[in-house]
Structure 1
Amino acid sequence: MFTGLIEHTAPVLEINRQSELTSLKIQNTHFKNLIQGESIAVNGVCLTVTNFTNDTFEVDIVNETMNVTNFNQLQPNQSVNLERALRLDQRLGGHLVGGHVEGTGQIITSSIDGDALVLEITVPDMLMKYMVHKGSVTIDGISLTIFEVDYERCRITLNIIPETQRQTNLSNRIVDDNVNIESDMIVRHVAHLMSFKQAGGTHV
């Protein structure tokens, strides 16, 4: 479980693509006392640390994850957002994030409004019912508030404050880039329970 508050960004040093598995080696100058097997969200995807040194760590990605995320477009030296798993004794500053990306969206427009970076992003049709005005969404692992929702065109608009621009890789994103999307798990689970009830289900 994560909060969507990015702790830092780091470049991908190596990408080893094989038929069944892709391995990433990522620079690490921030996380101390890493443990093999712990979870780290990389661009919002919950991955397991398989190996580490004093200044790097490695993760493996299965093909299913490659297919539903933007990792298939990842290049060496590209910066990724990183967050270690949530501890039960820390504040939940963002919202509950599972690290299970449901699909990708494309940046349609990028503009500046005062100090804010304004992004318009497409959302897969199957996820639009979970997009709520002033609700939460996770983009590349970042907990963000939805500023506008366009249900007809399957798009959302996000206003990115300067602090988020500094702490994440969103300031490096350009039009046509694909981003990972995870809907708000609470909205998603409530919608699932409601649809189950409407279908006549009795066991939850």
Structure 2
Amino acid sequence: MFTGLIQTIGLIEQRDLDRLVIHCPDLVAKIAIGDSVAVNGVCLTATQVSDTNFVADVSPETLGRTNLGDRKLKYVNLEMALAVGDRIGGHFVSGHIDGMGKLSDRSLVGNSWELSFEAIPEVARYIVFKGSITINGISLTVSYCNDSGTNFRVAVIPHTYDNTTLKYLDIGSSVHLEGDLLGKYVEKFLKSIHIAPSNLAVPVITPEFLTEHGW
């Protein structure tokens, strides 16, 4: 589990068919073999660690669903897994990518940046106004979205822009998108109510019902 607060930018020094070698001298001292590290929002396991690099195995499933196999990709956002007792400054991020998006526009507004993206429908249904979205592992807030969620915008402060790979994106660049985890659970809960047999009592959602079930 992660929070979407990027700790450093890593450089992919070597890319084989089934592994990545990532250079990150300012973070690698904290990484142990077996640790989970979010690489552009993708949860990977460190299998080797040196003084300046760590190695992560990458499955065909991961390569097929992400752009980590793209040899044009050099810089990646890195975040170590959340530890018990850590502050959650972003939102809950699983590191399991829902789909790809694309940067469609970028504009400087004051000192901050407004970035617009296109999302595939499988991800778009989790995108809501003022909701959380993970873009290349970064926890961001949706400042605008159309009704379907396929077009949305985020506002990015200078610190986030300067200290993540957002600054390296070009118009048309692909990005990893992960929808809000809580939204997925709500969706599944509502689907289970919708398909419940007619002879079963369907609970009415009230403040008392939510309190009883731990909300």
TM range (shorter): over 0.9
CA displacement 1:89-142 (0-9 Å, x = unmatched): 110000000000011001111111111111111111122221110000000000
Instruction: State the structure with bigger RCO (CA 8 A, min sep 6), 1 or 2.
Output: 1
1:128–1:151 Cα contact (<8 Å) kept: no
Q: How does 1:152-191 map to 2 (within 5 A)?
A: 152=148, 154-191=150-187
CA displacement 1:124-171 (0-9 Å, x = unmatched): 112222111000000000000001011357111111110101220101
Which blocks of at least 5 consecutive residues in structure 2 are unaligned?
201-215
Aligned to 2:123: 127
Aligned to 2:36: 39
**1:84 alignment partner, one of 80, 85, 89:** 80
Aligned to 2:51: 54
Aligned to 2:210: none
TM-score w.r.t. length of structure 1 = 0.92
For the pair shown, the structure with the greater C-alpha radius of gyration is: 2
2:124–2:149 Cα contact (<8 Å) kept: no
Aligned to 1:107: 103
Alpha-carbon distance between aligned partners in 2 of 1:199 and 1:38, rounded to the nearest angstrom: 40
Alignment CA distance shift 1:101-1:55 (3 Å)? same
What is the aligned length? 197
Alignment CA distance shift 1:120-1:33 (3 Å)? closer
Alpha-carbon distance between aligned partners in 1 of 2:99 and 2:110, rounded to the nearest angstrom: 30
The letter of the residue matching 2:91 is H
The letter of the residue matching 1:183 is G
Deviates more, 1:84-93 or 1:111-120: 111-120
Tell me by how many angstroms 1:51 deviates. Answer: 0.5
Q: What SS does the aligned partner of 1:144 have?
A: strand
2:133–2:180 Cα contact (<8 Å) kept: yes
Alpha-carbon distance between aligned partners in 2 of 1:145 and 1:153, rounded to the nearest angstrom: 13
**2:143 alignment partner, one of 140, 147, 150:** 147
Runs of 4+ with deviation above 6 angstroms:
none
Which blocks of at least 5 consecutive residues in structure 1 are unaligned?
none
TM-score w.r.t. length of structure 2 = 0.87
**2:114 alignment partner, one of 115, 118, 125:** 118
CA displacement 1:41-85 (0-9 Å, x = unmatched): 000000000111011000011111111112132436x11000000
Deviates more, 1:152-161 or 1:78-87: 152-161
Alpha-carbon distance between aligned partners in 1 of 2:127 and 2:165, rounded to the nearest angstrom: 22
Tell me by how many angstroms 1:175 deviates. Answer: 0.3
Deviates more, 1:97-106 or 1:63-72: 63-72
2:125–2:149 Cα contact (<8 Å) kept: no
* Cα RMSD after superposing both structures: 1.5
Aligned to 1:2: 2
Matched, 1:96 2:73: no
Alpha-carbon distance between aligned partners in 2 of 1:86 and 1:188, rounded to the nearest angstrom: 20
